[in-house]
Structure 1
Amino acid sequence: MDQVGADPSFSAVGEVVGDRVTVTVTGEVDMATAGALFEAATPGRVTAATVDLRAVTFFDSAAIHTLVRLVDHYAGALEVFPSDRVRRVLDIAGLSTQPWLKQS
């Protein structure tokens, strides 16, 4: 994916332990980086995911779309730890009461 104009501090690093991937995300998640987040969160042969967004500084509609895709992909086996900014965006989008959204 083309990263031109993307936050140079963005990273999405996944670590697989057993059947769960834990992805730690930093920087801005937007149209330029959302695909990389999805790829990091969906390595082969895992059935559950934890996405740590506590170091995310910007989160847009492309990022929300990626979370919705992950919710579908992991069907009840996803947990997301948001930063305050991410939580606010998800609140505005009407997603703040979802069971996959955890307290930071």
Structure 2
Amino acid sequence: MSPVFSASAEIDDGHLHVLITGEVDMATADTMFQAVLREPAERVTLDLRAVTFFDSAAIHAVVRLAQQFPGALTVLPSRQVHRVLDISGLGDQAWLRPA
């Protein structure tokens, strides 16, 4: 059985924390993207530590978020997510924290 995707968000003093779990793929990447944009925020932490699958649609969504929040996005990757971003040439981005 594949892990179920979920997205939850909470905002604290202009800092939005978005927790994503499960698989982020073509079917769920836009939901992840919209979860971040739902609340106006000065800073965003995208917690992907519980993500088990991450495809090109997910990569595209994260890159769009980095463009939307220049210098204000932090991505906390799972080992799987970090590996996919490394392979795609994004492993050294300032917004990406070590896995």
Shift of 1:8: 6.1
Aligned counterpart, 2:69: 74
How big is each residue's C-alpha offset from its partner over 1:29-70, in whole Å with a ceiling of 9 and x where there is no partner? 001001110111112321210001010000000000000110
Aligned counterpart, 2:91: 96
Number of residue equivalences: 98
**Aligned counterparts, 1:1-104, within 5 A:** 9-104=4-99
Quick one: which amino acid aligns to residue 59 of structure 2? I
List runs of 5+ in structure 2 lacking aligned partners.
none
> Aligned with 2:34: secondary structure?
helix
Which aligned segments of 4 or more residues in structure 1 are displaced greater than 2 angstroms? none
**CA RMSD, Structure 1 to Structure 2 (Å):** 1.2
TM-score by length of 2: 0.93
TM-score by length of 1: 0.89
